[in-house]
């Protein structure tokens, strides 16, 4: 495996991810059968989950991407959200699904949901691959959750630590010494 020297533990394998992504996509296909939702991926962490999931959703969907920053390159949120790249699609009157890699404190998704509702989206639901419930700071309703994970910093399947490890196929925890390095 790529970068395997840095990996301490595989938390979720690519086979388990694929099975769960299929289940969520089937659920979305059923829930939105009378709609053509606008699916917004949160860059960069959600890109692989988004790409895999949209291809399994059997609906006529539109896709767009947004990029926000709340982490200053470390392992915990700064609490301050900056919009780095906006969507280019008009979301007014649309059923929107925001696709995230992981919900930690919940501040990023709270910010995005409020912004999209202010822009008159007809509905805003959230699909996240991972959730760390023990870290939640804001109370946010999440309709689709892939897996609940413990309070460990994870990488792979799109998620990074200081921009590394995004292309690992499994979701992994790194060795302590990697997080300590500058």
Residues near ligand IMP (CB under 6 A): 42, 45, 70-71, 77, 100-108, 153-155, 159
45 binds Mg ion (CB under 5 A): yes
31 is an active site residue: no
Q: How far apart are CA 90 and CA 65, in angstroms?
A: 12
74, two tokens? 């470390």
Smaller CB distance to ligand IMP: residue 123 or 153?
Answer: 153
Binding site partner of 107, from ligand IMP, Mg ion, none, Cβ cut-off 5-8 A by kind: ligand IMP
Q: How far apart are CA 101 and CA 41, in angstroms?
A: 9
**Least separation, in Å, of the C-beta of 47 and Mg ion?**
10
Q: How far apart are CA 177 and CA 182, in angstroms?
A: 10
Q: How many residues bind Mg ion (CB under 5 A)?
A: 3
Q: How far apart are CA 60 and CA 13, in angstroms?
A: 29
Smaller CB distance to Mg ion: residue 35 or 77?
Answer: 77
Smaller CB distance to Mg ion: residue 45 or 106?
Answer: 45
State the catalytic residue, choosing from 31, 104, 151, 170. Answer: 104
**Mask 84-113, x = binds Mg ion (CB under 5 A)?**
-----------------x------------
Q: How far apart are CA 101 and CA 45, in angstroms?
A: 5
**14-31 vs 47-54: helix axis angle to the nearest 10?**
60
């Amino acid at each position: 495996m790529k970068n395997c020297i840095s990996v301490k533990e595989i938390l979720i394998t690519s086979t388990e991810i694929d099975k769960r992504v299929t289940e969520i996509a089937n659920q979305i296909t059923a829930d939105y059968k009378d709609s053509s939702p606008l699916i917004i991926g949160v860059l960069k962490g959600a890109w692989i989950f988004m790409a895999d999931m949209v291809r399994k959703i059997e609906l006529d969907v539109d896709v767009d991407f947004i990029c926000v920053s709340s982490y200053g390159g470390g392992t915990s949120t700064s609490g301050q959200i900056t919009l780095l790249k906006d969507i280019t699609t008009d979301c007014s009157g649309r059923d929107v699904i925001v696709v995230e890699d992981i919900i930690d404190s919940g501040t990023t998704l709270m910010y995005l949901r409020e912004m999209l509702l202010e822009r008159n989206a007809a509905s805003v639901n959230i699909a996240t691959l991972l959730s760390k419930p023990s870290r939640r700071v804001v109370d946010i309703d999440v309709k689709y959750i892939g897996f609940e994970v413990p309070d460990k910093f994870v990488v792979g399947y799109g998620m990074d630590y200081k921009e590394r490890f995004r292309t690992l196929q499994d979701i992994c925890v790194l060795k302590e010494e990697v997080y300590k390095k500058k």
